[in-house]
Amino acid sequence: MTIKKAGYAVITGRPNVGKSTLMNALLGEKVSITSPKPQTTRWQIAGIHGVGDTQIVFIDTPGVNDNKERAMNRYLNRMATAVYDQADVIVFVVDAKQWREEDAMVLAHIKNVNKPVILALNKIDLLDNKSELLPIITKMNDKYPFAAIVPMSAQGKDNLNVLETEIAKFMPEGEAIYPEDQLTDKSVRFLVAEIIREKLIYATEDELPYTTSVQIEEFKASEALTEINALIWVEREGQRAIVIGKGGEKLKKIGTQARKEIERLIGSKVFLRLWVKVKADWTDDEAALRSLGLE
């Protein structure tokens, strides 16, 4: 179908409300990694979605962080602010059960942007009773003149079509921004690094700070097999030991889980080699961030 309307929907909200889960659910594909830990999303990722004659480019954003001490956090905050400029509509995601100070901070910020804001009341699957919804909606209505308030569940894929319709209303007339068969603005290499980082976050639970990074050193694709060498960067020797685990078992588990998902993504057999290296304080070093492609 020829695209007649196209625009940007920026997904925002405090960490852990389900922004990345929502974008993946709307796309029907996993483009942005998710986890129960805050700070999982580190990059701005575009997900491209066609609805009839409309193309919606979703932008998933990292949560804003209050700790301005580190270069990594300063970078995240800069990016979070600049992203609203390109929005045709802002999708403000909150946890229906938990309104927090951080939600108020995000709302205060988007109030100044002067763009239509749709409130996505996420995780309604966690409500004990649907009758809890009405008072929540009334309360939210008082906070801001939202263009729409949509109760939904990203994980349960509940009411996503209503949200999608509300978002589509704000897409301006125009040609497709991306080719219609494209799913994301990121390369396969990028997605591969992110898959490895997601498995790393799950495998190490709370033992590892979110500052770990993954770099793809080699990516050799042939028809039958894709060979990938990836480096996991940690800040300290002790973290290296955590990632590798006793007898290398944790690193092996991370590798196996990542390989399976990468094989699904690229549709061929994958040979994945993982290395763990220590680079002290890279999250506080602007030059190191640039070398890892964070600009």
Contacts to ligand GDP by CB under 6 A: 13, 15-21, 34-36, 40-41, 63, 122-123, 125-126, 153-156
Nearer to ligand GDP, 155 or 257 (CB): 155
CB distance 172 to 53 below 8 Å:
no
Nearer to Mg ion, 36 or 179 (CB): 36
Nearer to ligand GDP, 261 or 285 (CB): 261
CB distance 11 to 56 below 8 Å:
no
CA distance 66 to 293: 23
Q: Is 44 in the site for Mg ion (CB under 5 A)?
A: no
Identify the burial level of 12 via C-beta atoms within 10 angstroms of its C-beta, where 0-12 means exposed, 13-18 middle and 19 or more buried: buried
Q: Locate tokens 């300063």: which residue?
A: 74
Task: List the single partner that 82 binds among ligand GDP, Mg ion, none, CB under 5 to 8 Å by kind.
Answer: none
Q: Is 20 in the site for Mg ion (CB under 5 A)?
A: yes
Q: Is 122 in the site for Mg ion (CB under 5 A)?
A: no
CA distance 17 to 184: 22
Q: Is 35 in the site for Mg ion (CB under 5 A)?
A: no
Nearest Cα to 136, choosing from 155, 149, 154?
A: 149
Stretch that binds Mg ion, among 40-48, 90-98, 146-154, 181-189 (CB under 5 A): 40-48
What is the C-alpha end-to-end distance of the chain, expressed in Å? Answer: 36
Q: How far is the CB of 84 from ligand GDP (least distance, A)?
A: 17
Nearer to ligand GDP, 24 or 215 (CB): 24
Nearer to ligand GDP, 45 or 270 (CB): 45
CA distances for 7 relative to 50, 98, 113, 189, 237, angstroms: 11, 30, 17, 26, 46
Stretch that binds Mg ion, among 18-26, 42-50, 77-85, 255-263 (CB under 5 A): 18-26
In b/e form, how buried is each residue of 193-231, taking b as 16+ CB within 10 angstroms?
bbbbbbbbbbbbeeebebbbbbbbeebeeeeeebebebb
Nearer to ligand GDP, 127 or 266 (CB): 127
Task: List the single partner that 7 binds among Mg ion, ligand GDP, none, CB under 5 to 8 Å by kind.
Answer: none
CB distance 122 to 94 below 8 Å:
yes
Q: Is 41 in the site for Mg ion (CB under 5 A)?
A: yes
Stretch that binds Mg ion, among 35-43, 164-172, 195-203, 271-279 (CB under 5 A): 35-43
The residues binding Mg ion (CB under 5 A) are 19-20, 41
